[in-house]
């Protein structure tokens, strides 16, 4: 076996991360491919499914209802919020996954390289713990905790997103009305998942991540969800799973037909663990029984949104004619 210098490994990881951190489609596939090779890393499957949902949220912005409710500038800002968070999480998490792959290849832990890649000291400790004890659920929860902290300051609390998204009426309305959800689709037509609420609250985001993970890996859901992920390529369009629903729905476009590749600036990163620490409650397991009733609840809310968008569009049209 050929052994490379730490400098060469660092270059390899950065190059491979940049290669896959192009858009939502490439990120989603990269996460899933890691899970296929290393199913012990449960977070990789969780990340691939949540990333699918991020892509669906992006193309939702082309629904006629949202085009009537939001201006083009507002829709662009929502897209950039999803895209920035999606990009930032991948840029932090994928090097960790690649270092695990290299550790398996060399049969020795390589996690001492993580701090050189701007990954939190918290995750260096957690990867060492996983390598020694093999606690898959602990690692998954640790990665949920880490990634939500990674995006908290540069996205959720960042002035631009605070003033342009999170404190504006469109976001506040969709949060108040519980219009957003992380869906876990299947090819049988059943849909599982959980609604997203109070997204700017880091504790709520971590709890949501654990809730989604609990549903995903439930024995009644996992094989159906895994079958869907293996069978259906991610396009960013909700048609990926809506084709299995007995509903007449407005289709959303394929992501790559409506959004360009975004060039991100990678600012100097600060280790969140140094000044925020970890709350003990974040590591508590969350056991949730899956419930497929979210499908009807989610689409009933979208009907109301569609009706509001229709009347909003009519009012705007009449105003322009008068």
Residue for token pair 């192009």: 22
> Is 1 within a domain?
no
pLDDT value, residue 312: 67
pLDDT value, residue 246: 87
Average pLDDT on 68-97 reads 96
Query: What 3-state class would DSSP assign to 193?
Result: strand
pLDDT band at 305 (very low <50, low <70, confident <90, very high): confident
pLDDT value, residue 149: 97
> Is 134 within a domain?
yes
Q: What is the Rg, in whole angstroms, of the alpha carbon atoms belonging to the chain? A: 20
What DSSP assignment string belongs to 1-13? -----HHHHHHHH
pLDDT band at 157 (very low <50, low <70, confident <90, very high): very high
State pLDDT tens for residues 245-254.
988 899 999 9
From the list 144, 152, 150, 142, the residue with the least C-alpha distance to 182 is 144
Please give the residue range of the domain that contains residue 200: 6-260+267-321
Contact 46, 209 (CB under 8 A): yes
CB half-sphere exposure, 62, CA atoms < 13 A: 17
Average pLDDT, the chain: 93
Q: Is the pLDDT of residue 321 over 60?
A: no
Report, in this order, helix, strand and coil percent for the chain, each rounded to 5: 65, 5, 30
Q: Is the pLDDT of residue 319 over 80?
A: no
> Is 312 within a domain?
yes
Q: β-strand 191-195 against 181-185: which pairing, if any?
A: antiparallel
Structural domain count of the chain: 1
pLDDT band at 177 (very low <50, low <70, confident <90, very high): confident
Q: Is the pLDDT of residue 73 over 90?
A: yes
Residue 279, number of CB atoms within 10 A of its CB? 12
Structure tokens belonging to residue 36: 């296929």
pLDDT value, residue 174: 86
The segment with the largest mean pLDDT, out of 4-18, 31-45, 291-305, is 31-45
Query: What 3-state class would DSSP assign to 238?
Result: coil
pLDDT value, residue 318: 60
Phi, psi of 160 (to 5 degrees): -60, -50
> Is 200 within a domain?
yes
Burial 232-245 (b: 16+ CB within 10 A, else e): bebbbbbbbbbebe
State pLDDT tens for residues 32-72.
999 999 999 999 999 999 999 999 999 999 999 999 999 99
Q: Greater confidence, 318 or 217?
A: 217
Q: Is the pLDDT of residue 273 over 80?
A: yes
pLDDT value, residue 322: 57
> Is 16 within a domain?
yes
pLDDT value, residue 7: 85
In degrees, rounded to 5, the angle at the alpha carbon of residue 249 between the alpha carbons of residues 246 and 253 is 125
From the list 138, 141, 136, 161, the residue with the least C-alpha distance to 151 is 161
pLDDT band at 2 (very low <50, low <70, confident <90, very high): low
pLDDT value, residue 60: 97
Q: Is the pLDDT of residue 263 over 60?
A: yes
Dihedral over Cα of 96, 100, 102, 106: its sign = positive
> Is 289 within a domain?
yes
C-alpha 102/C-alpha 108 separation (Å) is 8
From the list 161, 143, 23, 183, the residue with the least C-alpha distance to 81 is 161
> Is 229 within a domain?
yes
């Amino acid at each position: 076996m050929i052994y490379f210098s730490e400098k060469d490994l660092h270059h390899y990881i950065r190059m491979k991360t940049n290669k896959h951190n192009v858009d939502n489609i490439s990120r989603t596939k990269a996460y899933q491919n890691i899970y296929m090779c290393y199913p012990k890393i449960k977070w990789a499957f969780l990340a691939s499914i949540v990333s699918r949902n991020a892509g669906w949220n992006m193309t939702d912005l082309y629904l006629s209802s949202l085009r009537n409710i939001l201006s083009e500038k507002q829709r662009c800002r929502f897209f950039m919020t999803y895209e920035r968070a999606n990009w930032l999480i991948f840029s932090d998490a994928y090097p960790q996954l690649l270092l695990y792959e290299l550790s398996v290849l060399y049969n020795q832990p390589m996690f001492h390289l993580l701090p050189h890649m701007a990954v939190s000291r918290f995750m260096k400790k957690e990867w060492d713990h996983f390598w020694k004890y093999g606690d898959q659920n602990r690692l998954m929860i640790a990665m949920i905790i880490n990634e939500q902290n990674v995006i908290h300051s540069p996205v959720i609390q960042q002035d631009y997103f605070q003033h342009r998204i999170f404190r504006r009426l469109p976001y506040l309305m969709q949060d108040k009305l519980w219009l957003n959800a992380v869906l876990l689709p299947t090819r049988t037509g059943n849909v599982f998942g959980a609604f997203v609420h109070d997204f700017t609250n880091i504790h709520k985001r971590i709890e949501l991540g654990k809730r989604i993970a609990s549903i995903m890996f439930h024995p009644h859901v996992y094989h159906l969800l895994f079958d869907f992920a293996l069978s259906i390529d991610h396009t960013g369009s909700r048609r990926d799973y809506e084709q299995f629903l007995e509903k007449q729905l407005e289709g959303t476009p394929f992501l790559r037909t409506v959004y360009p590749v975004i060039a991100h600036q990678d600012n100097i990163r600060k280790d969140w663990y140094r000044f925020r620490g970890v709350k003990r409650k974040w590591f508590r397991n969350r056991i949730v029984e899956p419930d497929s009733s979210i499908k009807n609840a989610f689409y009933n809310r979208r009907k109301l949104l569609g009706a509001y968008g229709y009347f909003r569009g009519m009012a705007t049209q009449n105003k322009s004619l008068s």
